[in-house]
Structures are given as C-alpha cells and as structure tokens.
Amino acid sequence: MERIDASEARDHIEMINRILAESQQRLCAGGEYFVAWGVGSAYITVLFQLANNKIVSDSALWSVPVVLVLCALFSIYRGRATRAALARSSLVQREFFNVLWLTIGLAFVSNIAVYMIFSGIASAAIWSVAEAIVLLYIGMHGNRRAQIAGVLVVASLIAANFVSRDIAGYVLGAGMLAGYAGFGISELLARE
Amino acid sequence: MDELLLSKVRLGVVAELLSFDWIAFSELARSLDVSNGNLGAHLSKLVEAGYVDEEKSFVNRRPLTRYRLTKRGREAFAEHVSQLQSLLEAAN
C-alpha cells in the first residue's frame, strides 16, 4: 500500500486549491459578443438622441431594428460556431452564458415588444442595466476588467439621470461603448 | 486514504473535473501539463474504478473524447481531501 507524508499531502492540497481557483476564473466571455452588442446598443442610443435633438430625421430610426437583428444574427452565428467549445465548458461558464442570454434577451424583448413603457431614453437605459448586470457578474468571478467596465456602465447610467435630456443618450452611449464594447476589445486582446 | 488518488496526476484530473460538466481529453492534458500517453493511462484507471465517465463522439468530423466526474468519484475525492487535511493537521 502506498503511503504519503505531510509534505506530499500539503503539496497535493495546494495543487487542488490552485486548480479549483483557476477553473473558477476561466470564464469564457467571448469578446466578440460584447463588441457587437456594445457598438450596436451605443449606435441605437446615440441615434435616438440625435433624432430627438432633430439632428437626424426620424426616418433614420428604421436602421434600429436592422442593427438589432444584425446583432442577434451575429450572436446566433457565433453561438453555432462555438458550440463545440461550449460542450467542453465548465459549469460556471455555462451559468455565465445563461446569465448573458437571459439578460440581453430580456433587454432585446423590452426594446422590441415593450416600447410603450420603455420608450425613448428608458429603452436605452434598459440596455445599460442589462450590460451592467452581465459585466458585474463576470467581475464577481475575478475578472478585474469586467469589474471596471461594469462600474463605467453604471456610472454612465447615474450620470445620464442628472444631465440634460438633450445629452442623456450620448452619456449612455458612451458608457456602452467604453464599458461593454471596451470590455469586449480588452477580452479579444487578452486572448491574443 | 484512497490509493487511486495518491497519484498527483489522478488527483489533479479529479480536481479539474470537479467544477466541469464534461471536459475534453485535450483540455485536461493542457490544463495538467502531462503527456497524452501518461494522462490516458491515469484516466483509464479512474474510468475502471468508476470515478470518471468517458464519452467518445465526433464534433465537426473530429473525434472528441471527454470525461465527467461520477458521484462515486466526487465522494471519493471529498473523503480523500478530508484525510489529507487530517494528516496535515496531525503533522502541525
């Protein structure tokens, strides 16, 4: 029968702790999603603000559903392309994807089907809330960049509440770009 | 102590599988930094003991062998870690 001494036991326990800590932090964020949805939501938010300020005509708003559908199609395409990788993902990664899809999905539905309640700046704010939830959830698992990005989005939400209605959309859009899309770019750079 | 888990590689495999649903052979080899032959031999013992489930399939026409920790393996791991900690406490 094999024996083990205290020194080896300590070595084994340390290895287990290291493996468990690493597996919790390996949250596959998929930078492309964040860039696509960050840029898409910022575009829509800024466009609404421009239309509201009469800088562009209301006819330009027809591009909004097109951008939303493009973002959704991109997500579906990427989801299919990464299906094999997802089959190998950890439980915490799967949980992350569930949070991501539920949050972004609900924001999508709110914009498409609940536009009477979430109209104008409120619909943009819904996106910011959804994006902040996703980023802070990733941040909770030890991703410092996601924590910073999440705080940026929340800060843009709070700032938008206090600035003039003529620029609130720009503030929210800046938060989406710097926070959500910015986090996606940082993930892509980190992957390389 | 569980003799099967006295091997550092096998203990590492079980620890890796602990927080995963399924994990591919290649992922395990990369995470644990062991050769394919070495890992394969250790995994066979874990599968044989009923600690780990093995599934062979094809993804995009490429073979994929993946592994999952069984309830028995999870219980054996918990018991083994508890005994390791007892040994450490006794030594301190």
ipTM metric? 0.84
Residues 4-23 (B) with a CB less than 8 A from some CB of A: 6, 8, 11-12, 15-16, 18-23
Q: Digits of tens for pLDDT over chain B (92 positions)?
A: 788 888 989 999 999 888 777 788 887 888 888 899 999 999 999 999 999 999 988 776 778 888 989 999 999 999 999 988 888 888 77
- What residues of B are in contact with residue A96 (Cβ under 8 Å)? none
- What residues of A are in contact with residue B15 (Cβ under 8 Å)? 15-16, 19-20
Tokens of A171: 């503030």
Selected from 1.10.10.10, 3.40.30.10, 3.40.50.1370, 3.20.20.140, the CATH number assigned to the domain covering B3-85 reads 1.10.10.10
Which of A10, A25, A83, A88 is the best substitution to test chain B (most B C-beta atoms within 10 A)? A88
The SS3 assignment for A166 reads: coil
A19–B31 CB contact, under 8 Å: yes
What is the pTM for the complete model shown? 0.63
B3–A16 CB contact, under 8 Å: no
Report the candidate in A12, A22, A91 with the shortest Cα–Cα distance to residue B68: A91
For chain A, domain boundaries: 29-191
CA gap A43, A67 in Å, rounded: 8
Q: Is A116 left (phi over 0), alpha (psi -120 to 50) or beta?
A: alpha
**Per-residue pLDDT tens over the stretch A44-79:** 999 999 999 999 998 888 998 899 889 889 888 877
For chain B, domain boundaries: 3-85
